[in-house]
Amino acid sequence: MQLFFRISFLILFWANSALAADIPLEAEDWTLATEQDGIILYTRPQPDSSYKAFKAVTVLDAPLNDVLAVMADPQSCLAWVKGCIHVEGFDERSFNDRYAYSVNDMPWPVKDRDYVIHIVTTAREIPGTVVMHMTAAPEKRPVSADLVRVTVTQTHYYFTPTEDGRTRMVWLQHAEPGGVLPAWLVNALIVDIPVESIRALQKVVKQPRYQGYHLIYRDGELVGVSR
């Protein structure tokens, strides 16, 4: 039986907003923060913000189609995104246009954060890079008194197949986490969270449930992943 997943991206630990300043992929002020386990992480100041942006670069030991199979499974967030404790997809209009809701755990006494994101995925068969842009849509779900709704953040993911059958991943992100959180704490988390999440992703993407997928293109545009 064929399984068909429309790609949903549920790996963000804060929500995105078009109000946030754009994060340049290439800029002179990216500063190396750490390099470990094949993960290179950079940070840079973000205009009009106390919180830094980060750029994580790595190569996943899996083909692009299997990586996207993970991203298409909402529950995979619980397995590899550090701090993700609840996730659900909703209002899926197409492979390229859908929404997701997630809750992320924060250490006591800080309230947990929740976010609602609009996910836009674009890719052409040639050259093959899959781009995921995520923007905040806080009005799409009711606000809970027990959580702090994150409304300003942006994330970009770039997945590119390599010649040896693996996948290069670039993760750009900046967020205003909301509430009262010291900048030093958030700036520390933007190093730890992506590194630990990518380590977990390297393991999750090798699980049998995500093997054997192929990408579906229509008129040269990526429209899904299936097996």
For 17, the 3-state DSSP assignment is coil
The token pair at 109 is 């006494």
Query: What is the band of 105 on the pLDDT scale with cuts at 50, 70, 90?
Result: very high
Cβ–Cβ < 8 Å for 125, 217: yes
Where do the domains of the chain lie, and which CATH numbers do they carry?
A: 13-21+30-215 (3.30.530.20)
The DSSP 8-state label assigned to residue 190 in this structure reads H
Of all residues in the chain, the percent with pLDDT exceeding 70 is 89
Cβ–Cβ < 8 Å for 99, 117: yes
Which pLDDT does position 49 carry in this prediction?
Answer: 82
Torsion of CA 76, 115, 9, 160, to 10 degrees: -110
Q: What is the mean pLDDT of residues 195-221?
A: 95
The DSSP 8-state label assigned to residue 51 in this structure reads S
Neighbours of 114 (CB within 10 A): 23
**Residue 88 CB contacts under 8 Å (≥ 6 apart), including other chains:** 74, 100, 101, 102
For 107, the 3-state DSSP assignment is coil
pTM: 0.85
- Encoded amino acid at 35, one letter: E
* Tens digit of each residue's pLDDT (9 = 90 or more) over 122-178: 998 777 899 999 888 999 999 999 999 988 878 899 999 999 999 999 999 987 777
